[in-house]
Amino acid sequence: MDFFVDSEDSATYLYYLFKQMGKKVFQTEKKNKSLVYLRNSEDILDIIFLIGGINSFFEFEEVTINKEIRNKINRNMNWEIANETKKLSASEKQINMIKVIDQKLGLSELTDVLSETAKLRLEKSGNVITGTGRFNGNFQIRNKKTDLEGWKQFTKV
């Protein structure tokens, strides 16, 4: 809310009046006039109400509420899009890791839980897999046919 005031004394008086009321108020010069302004929506509503602008008060309140609602909706949409993007990216990364493991060692060399989880991930490439175990690249091979040196070589690939 901006107040353009002709005299600097009046602007200073208005500035200190608002300041004394506990409002976050600013004062500057613009177009050769003194400008006293408020940016905090609660302070603006208080001043509108104080000077008798009841209709303007309710209009401003409606605009403020609508803006808050739009912001919340946008934040929720952005959050959902980011989470979906992360899920797809993680799924793609896991599928690529599983394919490399399958080519280099074979899925049969993994523990039963990891082998089952890897096969599930390949079958349900776009879905979130829960309840079968965790597959994030930190896996162990139960040494059936491969030796530890072979595993160390694989992890450097």
Model confidence pLDDT, tens digit, residues 50-74: 888 888 878 888 998 999 999 999 9
Backbone angles phi, psi at 28, to 5 degrees: -155, 180
DSSP lists the bridge partners of residue 35 as 4, 28
Position 65 scores a pLDDT of: 93
Q: List alpha helices for the chain, DSSP H.
A: 8-20, 41-50, 54-104, 112-123, 148-155
- pLDDT higher at 31 or 37: 37
Q: How many CB atoms lie within 10 A of CB 94?
A: 19
Whether pLDDT at 38 is above 80:
yes
Cβ–Cβ under 8 Å, residues 68 and 55? no
- The structure's pTM equals 0.45
Mean pLDDT of 15-27: 92
Tokens found for residue 72: 């919340």
